[in-house]
Amino acid sequence: MFSGNLGEKDFNTGQQLAEEEKKSGPSTLIDVAREAGVSPSTVSRILNGTARVSDEKRQAVLKAIERNQFAPNLMAQALKKGRTHTIGIVVQDISSPFFDEILHGVDDGLKNTGYASVIVSGHWNAEEEADRIRLLLARKVDGIVLLSGRMSDETVLQFSTQRPIVSTGRHLDTKRALGFRLDHERGAWLAVRHLIELGHRRIAFVSGPANHADAIDRMNGYRRALEEAGLEVDPKLIVEGNFHENSGLLAVNHLLDTRQQFSAIFAANDQSAYGVRLALYRKGIRVPEDISLVGFDDLPGSAYTTPPLTTVKQPLYEMGLIATNALLRLIHGDPAEANIPPVELVVRETTRRYA
């Protein structure tokens, strides 16, 4: 029966249990700071990505966080600072290896920043892209990376009044919106010029969708390279594709069925080139002995096709990394710029001199 009186032994035991319970409780920001030998404010700034400290000090804090299993209360931080430490990523095709490579760059750009990403897909539809951005804004993301898309620049700028936006595939430069795009026309020019220098004169082209900005630029580059070399642009050698493997396969079948004469094929992207390669293989046509082939993008798998694909390299990983870094600067009110490496031709084993 409880008498209401505690002896000295009972009191000491209770005090010991209380101390042990305190020790076993959740670690705090102060615990991490004390172990790392820095101030709590430094830990906080490292967590939210605003600290300018040495790598040695940053690593000491990160190790202390790991040892203490410290988990900051992000919801409380969001309420206090008006930020959620999340950014929205709008891709167009979540299954595409093209966007997958860009997302690798985004992911690395977010490392050790305290930010996480929410990924949605616009499916190359302007209305759906706008709906996805509204959803991200409703979730209070701190900023948005828009990877290509069909929305107008005006619509993107309107959304940027609510949250900063960095977009690929367009030119924008305001305090809350930054956009950049590569020189796709030059990339196509490099590809076709390479084939012309190898002696090819009848060069077929598997294009992208007629209303796609990148596809239009690549078509212009194809035409410009031929015209500068004094070669005819033969409409019968141009087959519209959709940037997917099946269109490359169907394009080759069409060219062969209509008995077109050609010694090389330029595919508007690597995925189309994969389809071209399969169609040629099924017809017993060798690459590059019978037909030379060039793609565009330099997807990771293009170095491992049979034979390895000659292609135009887009700096996909760098695009994701640079876009993310630029967005974080805009979120913190700092000026941002995007210095993207230029496209370049990567010569592998699917092209050879025309005999």
Say how far apart CA 300 and CA 46 lie, in whole Å. 33
Phi-psi category of 26—alpha, beta or left, where left has phi over 0 and alpha has psi -120 to 50?
beta
Q: Confirm if 313 and 345 have CB atoms less than 8 A apart.
A: yes
pLDDT at residue 21, as a whole number: 43
Residue range 8-72 forms a domain whose CATH class is: mainly alpha
Burial 154-191 (b: 16+ CB within 10 A, else e): eebbebbeebbbbbbbbebeeebbbbbbbebbbbbbbb
Say how far apart CA 146 and CA 62 lie, in whole Å. 30
Report the predicted TM-score, pTM, of the whole model to 2 decimal places: 0.78
Residue range 184-313 forms a domain whose CATH class is: alpha beta
* Cα dihedral across residues 280, 295, 185, 151: positive or negative: positive
First to last CA, the chain: 105
Say how far apart CA 194 and CA 225 lie, in whole Å. 9
Instruction: Give the closest residue to 106 by CA, choosing from 120, 89, 123, 129.
Output: 89
Q: Confirm if 29 and 74 have CB atoms less than 8 A apart.
A: no
pLDDT per residue, tens digit, the chain (355 aa), is 334 444 445 445 444 544 444 445 567 888 888 888 888 888 877 776 667 788 888 888 888 888 887 776 655 555 556 678 999 999 998 888 999 999 999 999 999 898 999 999 999 999 999 999 999 999 999 999 999 999 999 999 999 999 999 999 999 999 999 999 999 999 999 999 999 999 999 999 999 999 999 999 999 999 999 999 999 999 999 999 999 999 999 999 999 999 999 999 999 999 999 999 999 999 999 999 999 999 999 999 999 999 999 999 999 999 999 999 999 999 999 999 999 999 999 999 999 999 7
Does domain 79-182+317-331 correspond to CATH entry 3.40.50.2300? yes
| Neighbouring residues of 295: CB distance < 8 A, sequence distance ≥ 6 | 267, 269, 270, 272, 273, 274, 302, 309, 310, 311, 312
CATH fold match for the domains 8-72 and 79-182+317-331: no
Q: At what angle are helices 55-68 and 29-36 packed, to 10 degrees?
A: 130
How many other CB atoms are there within 10 angstroms of residue 95's CB atom? Answer: 8
Domain boundaries, the chain: 8-72, 79-182+317-331, 184-313
Q: What's the gap between Cα 275 and its chain centre? A: 23
Say how far apart CA 309 and CA 273 lie, in whole Å. 8
Q: Classify residue 127 as exposed, middle or buried by CB count within 10 Å of its CB (0-12, 13-18, 19+).
A: exposed
pLDDT at residue 74, as a whole number: 58
Say how far apart CA 351 and CA 91 lie, in whole Å. 32
Say how far apart CA 236 and CA 255 lie, in whole Å. 8
Q: Confirm if 305 and 274 have CB atoms less than 8 A apart.
A: yes
| Neighbouring residues of 354: CB distance < 8 A, sequence distance ≥ 6 | 198, 199, 200, 201, 263, 264, 292
In the sheet where 172-173 sits, what is the strand order? 116-121, 86-91, 143-146, 165-168, 177-180, 172-173
pLDDT at residue 70, as a whole number: 77
